[in-house]
Amino acid sequence: MAALVLAAACQSTPPPSDEADLAVSESVEAEETEAMDEAAETMPEEAVAEVKTYPQENVAPGEDPYIWLEEVEGEEALDWVRTQNERTLEELQSGGMYDRYYRQALDVLQSDERIPYGTVRDGYVYNFWQDSNNVRGVWRRASLESYETSNPRWETLLDIDALAEAEGKNWVYKGANCFKSDAGARWYCMISLSDGGKDAVIQREFDIATKRFVDGGFVTPEAKQGFAWVDRNTALIATNWGEGTTTASGYPFIVKRWSRGTPLSSAVEVVRGDESDVGVWPSVIETDDGRRLQMAVEADTFFTSTYWWLPEGETSPVRMPIPQKSSPQGVYQGNLLITLKQHWSPRAGSAFFSGDVVAFDLETFLRTREVPPVSLVFHPENNQAVNGVAIAKGAALLSIDENVRGKVLQIEPADNGWSRTELSLPGTSGQAGIAFADRDSDTVFINYEDFLTPDSLLRYDVSTGEVRQIKSLPTKFDAEGLAVDQHFAVSSDGTAIPYFIVYKEGIELDGTTPTLLYGYGGFEVSMNPSYSGVRGRLWLEEGGAYVLANIRGGGEFGPAWHQAGLKTDRQIIYDDFIAVAQDVIGRGVTSTEHLGIMGGSNGGLLMGVMLTQRPDLWDAVVIQVPLLDMLRYHLLLAGASWVDEYGSPDVPRERAFLETISPYQNFDPNADYPAPFFVTSTKDDRVHPGHARKMARKFEVAGKPFYYYENIDGGHSAAANQQEAARRNALEHVYLHRKLFGEGE
């Protein structure tokens, strides 16, 4: 079973909101008005713009004057967005640097010299591909034998550009959920399509054999939804069933069983959660003998879930004996494998710890409906973290990090526990992950990369035990003379915080190296070494250094590393990031005037906090698709699903803490901020673009320099296609270069 992924932060609406008590203090409003003319006199000429007034900003003291910018498609809000876009593009696209950076980024992003990652079904590799000729992309396949050659013979199954043109839609491909019919071994897939990149999708049934959508097949209306095949003619579906059927986070909480040939409205309810849940999703567990156990996953919170088994012919769901802070990973040799994110004592005398991988006999549970004996599969050491488990035909694989470097292990049940065998990979200092594994195939794809080594795709053949490289990328930038070090900074509580630095060997440690520091720090998402041709060309080749901070909130050292920064403990995450910056400066690598920072989504919140808490530490701040108004975030789009990460503004103690960190509320119109660059997307239905809009508006009203670019399409990635991704990267790096290199183009 593929475990439920709720989307790392800010992956993916709100209950009726109480507009009161949400905001900007009367004194701050007065200061903003006073500071406007004075600050405008000292702004860099190119950043000064006439500040238009809006009558809707004349609000009562204590209310938010910029709440009108939360109207995503509002005429005046979009007029403001277009004005900011025009001003920013005029500034950053002037001169020759932008065109050069755009061409370089697009060359990398649209290059045919990319690894076409895919999934294996019956001897074919299925892949989704975008390039200059296929802007929206094509879904295609090649035989496994052909795939391993340097020039695979691809067969197009679905052309998204042609589909979008024919239907007059800005379709963005969001994936295929496929099922193999017993009759004729034929594959049918539910294709997910998003209008402009939103998380909300429609799904249509597609017949691979005919390369056509199925006439009269399963089709779903647009919604944030989940779909699981039960058999060829039956599915489990969770969607928006009408008013009152979605959670405060905008996700479904009712799962129904849907039969082919019947309208969706006639589907039969099988599980109902609560509006207070994050959401409820359908799923299936496949057993070793091919049975498909119908399941539902009730995400009570972002980090806790209840797992339900839906026995055939029974009307009541059966709760699975799985701890709430845990994830089932699939069945191997009759054992249901589970990763734990909490301590668990399933029986007297047995105890397992957060971060462990455990297993129990599934058939015993199905027969007795009681928790069976549980065995330990893997216990990580202090410097290790489990990334996940993958089940292939004849093998179970475990992906782990060790000191933020990846390893892949094969695990097998043995007489006295589980054995582990490490697979041989081409490097030991980078990121190693399982790119594909499926219980119907004995082919496993493994990816390896590090900061200076392009991606390699390895094929692990379970039947022979052979690991061999089948594809690798050519270098996308000149890494000659570059080095990578790992250092540790000491945070405010004495904890050692690791970070990587990529730099030119022999640099003068005189504080003059332009340095970009990247961080995330949330939702147990690890920041691992990775190869980026765009970063290499637009930053490292230009002489910049790159720093990746492994701060708390992430998953680099397991659940405890994440949980150390939850809710009212979150300031430690920001202290970690500050400690890394100070350590890099202390080593003489860079200095404030040459140090820039970047982060997106939850990392965008990190950037906002760094901007308002320590504006003295950096001279450039790129704030991508951010959360910034932490007193209203839970009322905007998917925000309510993240209260277990950030705390709730409706809980007095948690609100009091959020008031201390929220960038929007802590903006000071008299402070000396570096001019930030806000990047967001109108079509982002996960993190509301109002966060970036409102914060930028504060800068504007206060007369402070800032840059702002909002992609009208693009979803949470802020880029609906590779051209837009290249544009965003080029704009960001022109900004960084001008701010940190201190020289002309």
How is residue 515 written in tokens?
Answer: 């340095």
How is residue 711 written in tokens?
Answer: 């992609």
Q: Would residue 688 show up in a list of annotated catalytic residues for this protein?
A: no
User: How many Å from the N-terminal Cα to the C-terminal Cα in the chain?
Assistant: 52
**Nearest by Cα to 297 from 724, 693, 1, 89:** 1
Q: Given 3-state DSSP classes, what are the helix, strand and coil percentages for the chain, each rounded to the nearest 5?
A: 25, 30, 45
The beta strands (E) that lie in 147-185 are given as 155-159, 171-181
How is residue 266 written in tokens?
Answer: 């006639």
Q: Would residue 601 show up in a list of annotated catalytic residues for this protein?
A: yes
The secondary structure element, H or E, covering residue 572 is helix 571-586
**Nearest by Cα to 716 from 176, 6, 11, 225:** 11
DSSP strand pairing (171-181 vs 219-223): unpaired
Q: How far apart are CA 629 and CA 626, in angstroms?
A: 9
CA angle, corner 52, sides to 47 and 57, nearest 5?
A: 120
Task: Note the Cα 351 to chain centre separation in Å.
Answer: 32
List Cβ neighbours of 688 (8 Å cut-off, separation of 6 or more).
70, 72, 633, 636, 637, 639
How is residue 595 written in tokens?
Answer: 């140090």
**Polymer length of the chain:** 745
Please state whether 552 falls in left (phi above 0), alpha (psi between -120 and 50) or beta.
Answer: beta
Please state whether 270 falls in left (phi above 0), alpha (psi between -120 and 50) or beta.
Answer: alpha
716, 717, 733, 737: the active-site residue: 716
The beta strands (E) that lie in 366-465 are given as 374-378, 384-392, 395-402, 405-414, 417-422, 431-436, 443-449, 456-461
In angstroms, how far apart are the furthest CA atoms of the chain? 77
- Which strands, in side-by-side order, build the sheet including 226-231? 226-231, 234-238, 254-259, 268-272
526, 601, 681, 717: the active-site residue: 601
**Nearest by Cα to 105 from 735, 728, 741, 717:** 728
DSSP strand pairing (226-231 vs 676-681): unpaired
What distances in angstroms separate CA 56 from CA 59, 60, 76, 253, one per listed residue?
7, 11, 10, 36
How is residue 129 written in tokens?
Answer: 């591909």
Written as one string, the DSSP assignment of 457-506 is EEEEETTTTEEEEEEEPPPSS--TTEEEEEEEEE-TTS-EEEEEEEEETT
Collapsing DSSP to helix, strand or coil, 326 comes out as strand
How is residue 169 written in tokens?
Answer: 């839609």
Collapsing DSSP to helix, strand or coil, 438 comes out as coil
Task: Note the Cα 240 to chain centre separation in Å.
Answer: 23
CB 306 within 8 A of CB 321: no
CB 168 within 8 A of CB 149: no
Enzyme catalytic residues: 601, 716
